[in-house]
Amino acid sequence: MSVLIHHRVAAQAAARPDAPAVVCAVGALNYRALDEHANRLAHHLVSLGTGPESLVAVHLPRSLDSVVAMLAVLKAGGAYLPLDPAQPGARTARILADAAPDVLVTDAPGDTPGPVGTTLHLTHDAPAIAAHPEVTAPEVPVHPDNLAYVIHTSGSTGAPKGVMVPHAGLANLVEWHVDRYGVGSGDRTSHLAALGFDATVWEVWPTLASGATLHLPSEVGRTQPEQLLRWLTAEGITVAFLPTPLAAEVLRLPGPSSLRTLLTGGDVLTVAPAPGAAYELVNHYGPTEATVVATAATVPAGTPGVPPIGKPIRGVRVRLLDDDARPVPDNAEGELCISGTGLARGYLGSPRLTAERFTPDPTGPAGGRVYRTGDLATQLSDGTVHFHGRLDDQVQLRGFRVEPAEVAAALSEHPDVVNAAVAVRSGLLIGYVVPRSGRDDSGDLPEAVRAHAAVLLPQHMVPARVMLLEEIPVTLHGKVDRNALPDPLPAVPDVVVGPRDAVEAMVAETWYEVLELSDRPAHVHDDFYVLGGHSLLAHRLAVRLRDLFGTRLPLHFALTAPTIAELTDELRRLEPAPGHLAEVAERHRQVAQLSDEDVEALLAQLGDA
């Protein structure tokens, strides 16, 4: 039988009490302190009624306190429900209403963010927690089938759904990870994910169960590739997980010398390490319903195209089934279905949805179940799996799972919207809404609907743009006809203000190249975000402009100056010497006008020099 995670952490505290366990910019905890703080909090939770199958919401940012709180819940026998304080309050309230936790652990000022049984405020209740004299864990019997945590994912019904994961699945993930990646007391790992995402499970528990040190970067630069690389290097990180979009950006840069293994997953990977990279890149696949990771594949340096998602991890079985739940032949496309120790119990408070997605295993032992992922894949004769997309409308955007129905439901809640749909176009989430009849000022409605959605949804689920339609197109079967939804890109305005000098022209050229819109007429008042920009593209833009102009451009300017005109003004303000930008732009213009023959002649002259 697998050793439960909180017992493994306690064993590390007993064996190596003075070793660093968790480190962040504002402090650190060794294993003794981590264990004792968690034990005291666990005793207090037990006094509040926490035990096996109890649900405790942890409403904290990534911090020493959040790690202590999650560990304390497990020691008290309960299951933790992680909540990111940065997500909209309305979404937090919905999750709390759905989950009805017995206790909420928080340190946020103000009222409780939703309905809970008891609120435990770490600052206000610190004396009561410290009053527990015990430094050993409470004696609470916990079975591998008991719940370890519940994480909410985007829901097809229009509301988030809570995935219930037992201790057995968590223990299986940790044991596989520690063995596969050789994580031990000399390792330093990173914790970048917000608490509400299941990547946190994967970052935190294998590290602490193996006696390694967990490092938490600050919020500033956590998602900026260059700053993140500097932090990884400074902290000597040896094993790190980065979501696919961020990993793709980091792979373009020289890797930190300390890094042994870079883990990624959450979206389709299209980049491999450069030849000669000193670290191993491993691509992963796994829904929350399969305890984070189901398959893994090493990506050799220089691998072209899209790599496979790999073979099942230990304790997990993967098979591809057709519409009648029959196995498909090798190399044939089928629905990717998962069974084994890593399977979640189901969806919190949703027996019908659980029965739909967790079905009897047609090829396994009696009483076994499979989780039907809704993903299409093929499997080679050696067991390697290749991902091919979705069967339903669910999408992956920059590493996040998004149910269009949940986004459409949020758009429809606006009082001036009677119907809504959502689709992905060119990597952008686009909302389509039908205004309420008689509304005569619909020109401001798209931004009003986006603002409304931003109150209800996490940032990655807010549409990049909202379009007004007279009606939502439907198929003959009455479903939304996404293929008939119009082009989401904004029309070129009637009055186009082109670049007014060589500097603005050079900025515009780079700006549209990064957005992959080089054919669009340059308009200096086009908005980066309306045209599909996001933080990673803004980082790429800032780096390119730095390289072109030789000017130090802080990354946040590409975020806070969203138009070509505004960004050019920021560059001028940072100009190292009068006329520098104009001189660089003029040289760039001259080089661009050279013919192939001119370039060859210049290269020949340089070779003779």
| Model pLDDT for residues 137-182, shown as the tens digit of each residue | 999 999 999 999 999 987 666 678 999 999 999 999 999 999 999 9
HEC-encoded secondary structure of 94-140:
HHHHHHCCCEEEECCCCCCCCCCCEEEECCCCHHHHHCCCCCCCCCC
pLDDT value for 127? 94
Q: Give the C-alpha separation, 338 to 379, whole Å.
A: 13
Amino acid at 289: E
pLDDT value for 604? 62
Sign of CA dihedral 71, 76, 82, 86: negative
Q: What ranges do the domains of the chain cover?
A: 5-169, 315-390, 402-484, 502-608
Instruction: Write down the residue that tokens 């946020």 correspond to.
Output: 108
* Low-confidence residues in the chain, pLDDT < 70: 1, 111, 155-158, 393-394, 398-399, 426-427, 437-443, 474-479, 488-491, 555-556, 558, 594, 596, 598-609
Q: How many CB atoms lie within 10 A of CB 593?
A: 8
CATH superfamily ID and name for 502-608: ACP-like (1.10.1200.10)
pLDDT value for 208? 98
pLDDT value for 603? 58
Tokens found for residue 419: 């119907």
Amino acid at 603: L
Q: How far apart, in Å, are the Cα atoms of 149 and each of 23, 120, 345?
A: 23, 18, 11
Q: Does domain 5-169 have CATH number 3.90.1170.50?
A: no
Whether the Cβ atoms of residue 94 and residue 159 lie closer than 8 Å to each other: yes
For 283, phi and psi rounded to 5 degrees? -90, 135
CATH superfamily ID and name for 402-484: ANL, C-terminal domain (3.30.300.30)
- DSSP letters spanning 490-543: PPPPSS-----SHHHHHHHHHHHHHTT-TTSPP-TT-BTTTTT--HHHHHHHHH
Q: How many CB atoms lie within 10 A of CB 18?
A: 8
- Range list of H helices, 100-239: 126-130, 167-181, 199-210, 225-235
- Given the candidates 3.40.50.920, 2.170.120.20, 2.30.38.10, 3.40.50.1220, the CATH classification of the domain at 315-390 is 2.30.38.10
HEC-encoded secondary structure of 328-372:
CCCCCCEEEEEEECCCCCEECCCHHHHHHHEEECCCCCCCCEEEE
* Closest CA relative to residue 172, chosen from 192, 202, 200: 202
DSSP 8-state code for residue 480:
B
